[in-house]
Amino acid sequence: MRAEDRAPRGAIVVVDYGMGNLRSVWQALVRVAPGREVVVSADPAVLAAAERVVFPGQGAMPDCMREIDARGLRVAVLDAARNKPFLGICIGQQMLFQHSEEGDVAGLGIVAGRVCRFPAERMLDGDGSRLKVPHMGWNEVRQAREHSLWKGIADGSRFYFVHSYFVVPSDPDCVFGTTDYGVLFTSAVAQDNIFAIQCHPEKSATAGLAMLANFVAWKP
């Protein structure tokens, strides 16, 4: 049987490229999408047959990009990002961009812009105390523009973050959410059928589950 014949059509597929524990993402999606098939897969044919794709992950961007290519997933991810409802999470957001300072590595180039490290000299809280990098814990996301994935989520809701780098889109119209941590950084971007966020919605309690439910229902 061909891989295409085994691929579950109409499924929500979580891309597995070997970086990070994907079980929490899978569990959260199963919770908000009862009756829907949610699959974790590294098979390009499964991605091709998916109705919508979630692109999560954690770790260093050079390692993530290397694994994408080593597993033959680049073409399938690019195709999904052009043609299906597509959700990038954490490093999955950063990899959509053209270049990262982390390891001086090229990204997938789907969204114009770069990925930068938090500037050490500006990592100060309002009282002058030093902010730690990585940015780890709960923080507010301010909604820069309306979007279907913000439905039912109050502006300024708190989400869970773990990261040392953040995206800097070339086009300000791509910015759909911002967060303040020493600097005001872009925490959510959207472009056509793509929505991508720096935080971890699967670890962000009610607001995160609402975002994932909105993604499951989203018809860009």
List the domain boundaries for the chain: 3-217
The H-or-E segment that residue 187 falls in is strand 183-191
Joined together, the tokens standing for residue 110 give 């789907």
What pTM, to 2 d.p., does this model score?
0.94
Tens of pLDDT along 9-63? 789 999 999 887 799 999 999 999 999 999 999 999 999 999 999 999 888 999 9
Reply yes or no on whether 90 is catalytic: yes
Q: What is the pLDDT of residue 2?
A: 34
Considering the domain 3-217, what is its CATH architecture? 3-Layer(aba) Sandwich (3.40)
Catalytic hit among 64, 90, 174, 199: 90
- SS3 for 216? helix
Catalytic pick among 135, 147, 163, 200: 200
pLDDT per position as a tens digit, 142-181: 999 999 999 999 999 999 999 999 999 999 999 999 999 9
Virtual torsion, Cα 33, 38, 44, 46, nearest 10 deg:
-100
Helix (H, G, I), strand (E, B) or coil at 100: strand
The mean per-residue pLDDT over the stretch 173-192 comes to 97
Residue 6 pLDDT class (50, 70, 90 cuts): low
CB contact set of 19 (below 8 Å; sequence gap of 6+): 57, 58, 59, 63, 64, 67, 91
Each residue's pLDDT tens digit, 95-125: 999 999 999 999 999 999 999 999 988 888 8
pLDDT given at position 57: 84
Q: Catalytic annotation on 163? A: no
pLDDT of residue 195: 98
Catalytic, 200? Answer yes
Q: For the chain, what is the mean pLDDT?
A: 93
Catalytic residue among 102, 174, 199, 202: 202
Q: What is the mean pLDDT of residues 177-189?
A: 97
